[in-house]
Structure 1
Amino acid sequence: MTEPRKADAAYLAIKHAVIEQALTPGTRLPEDVLGTHLNVSRTLIREALARLAAEGLVEAGRKRTATVAQPSRAEAQSVFEARACLEREVVRLVIKNWTPAMGAVLEGHVRSEEEAARDLPPTVCARLAGEFHIKLAQLSGNPVIERYLSELVSRCSLILAIYGNPHSSQCGIDEHRTLIESFRRGDEKTAVRLMVTHLNGVQERALMPEKKPVDEDLGSILGRYSAGTAAITPITTTRRRRKSA
């Protein structure tokens, strides 16, 4: 595996562990421990942590060990407000640019959500639900919106890890399918209404009383995420394509 590939794999392994709530807010992320368990150099780990810090998932400083970020309730409220604004514009752009191929992309992702709901933990289902919104942002054709919405979706997952109730897979899947139907009809008014209702539900679920952190060894957590990193393909920006959080 090339150095850039290793860096991407390390970044995605840590990111997925955070989004799936295996690495809980406040968890220390020592570079040497991460490098050992992910089998990459400290230089690449530092690069991965810098990317995650830029996305608001990690808090890092020159003189202290990085930790998983712990957004406050005020920050969480701001994140959801910004996300709602971007998602409404994504809906408009997706309908404007709609093609049958876009419907196939979204339907394929929803099928992945359904398979995960049958076989995988709710935290994995929640990550896939968020990725549906990232796919929508990709399909909007606006790479700037895609970038910022991707970061906001990830931060919402982190907020859910602190304050939220468990993800309801079937509700999210049903709502995603209903959104796709409104896109196919070109019904912008209904699609926006469905998206706002959907996001309000996510926000309501997210801002619950703070959870207690899970006491689990960092090495055992990373072991679960390092095994498949060679096969992980980063989500890339396209000019044409793509998520319930």
Structure 2
Amino acid sequence: MSDGKNTLTTAVYDLLRKAIIEQALKPGMRLPEDTVGEQFGVSRTIVRHALVRLENEGLVVTQRNRGAFVAEPSKEEAQQIFEVRRILENEVIRILCNRIPDTGYDQLRSHVRNEEGVRGKDGPVSIRLAGEFHVLLAELTGNEILARYVSEVVIRCSLIMSLYARSHSSDCAVDEHSQIIDAIQSGDAERAIAIMDHHLGAVQGRAELARQPDSIRSILSHYGKELAQ
């Protein structure tokens, strides 16, 4: 694939991924290649390559003779994903209590300020920023493999919450994110892990069926404008 096509594929992949993380594209929603291509102004081939990347991350499933759909995690799978997330994020905490880049705390507190800036204003953005906080924690460990796994489970949790959650509480997320930073900075791994466990437990506890289907055209028209910029 040429560099130009690679760039376009990555752009479409990033925007579809963002739409899934922000819970605009709902679990089970069909992703027709022609419709996605039309909204983003790209070929079906570009869309197909982007969908393959999303499928490899567990965000999209392809059904024979039916096309691609946003993945619909079962409740059993959702439970397993949250179990893995807790294990991974507890390890992130342990590592950060022993080592963290000099700029790490500034990056984390800057991110929390961004979260506070959209608190109560923009649901989709606050959801995305909440997940990105956890990915940033993992990236600061310097362990690229751990960071990749954390990123994958965080995004898949966005799918789960889109499918099952009653609500999103940005207030709790921001407050507990600050508490986690404070505990890590004090070197108190036990307290930081306890806060993280409570934090993830609260997220998981909000999981119940709550689905609101939308038109894929209306959703992607918003994200397509970003590609045109």
TM-score interval w.r.t. the shorter chain? over 0.9
Q: Does 1:95 align with 2:97?
A: yes
In structure 2, C-alpha distance between the alignment counterparts of 1:180 and 1:204, rounded to whole Å = 23
Aligned equivalent of 1:223, options 196, 218, 221: 221
Q: Does 1:69 align with 2:68?
A: no
Answer whether contact 1:9 1:229 (CA < 8 A) is retained. yes
Shift of residue 140, structure 1, vs aligned partner: 1.2
1:160-199 alignment runs, 5 A limit? 160-199=161-200
Shift of residue 35, structure 1, vs aligned partner: 0.9
1:84-233 alignment runs, 5 A limit? 84-120=86-122, 122-206=123-207, 208=208, 210-214=209-213, 216-229=214-227
Shift of residue 153, structure 1, vs aligned partner: 0.4
Instruction: Evaluate the alpha carbon distance shift between residue 185 and residue 128 of structure 1 in structure 2; reply closer, same or farther with a 3 A threshold.
Output: same
Shift of residue 64, structure 1, vs aligned partner: 2.7
RMSD: 1.6
Offset from partner CA, 1:83-137 (integer Å, 9 cap, x none) = 10000001111122124410011111111111122532x1221111011000011
Answer whether contact 1:31 1:46 (CA < 8 A) is retained. yes
Q: Tell me which stretches of 4 or more aligned residues in structure 1 moved more than 3 Å.
A: none
Q: What residue is the counterpart of 1:18 in the other structure?
A: 20
Q: What residue is the counterpart of 1:33 in the other structure?
A: 35
Shift of residue 61, structure 1, vs aligned partner: 4.0
Percent identity over the alignment is 44
Offset from partner CA, 1:28-83 (integer Å, 9 cap, x none) = 10111111111122222111111111111111145331001111100000000011
TM-score by length of 2: 0.93
Answer whether contact 2:162 2:211 (CA < 8 A) is retained. no
In structure 1, C-alpha distance between the alignment counterparts of 2:200 and 2:141, rounded to whole Å = 18
Answer whether contact 2:166 2:210 (CA < 8 A) is retained. no
Gaps of at least 5 residues in structure 2 are none
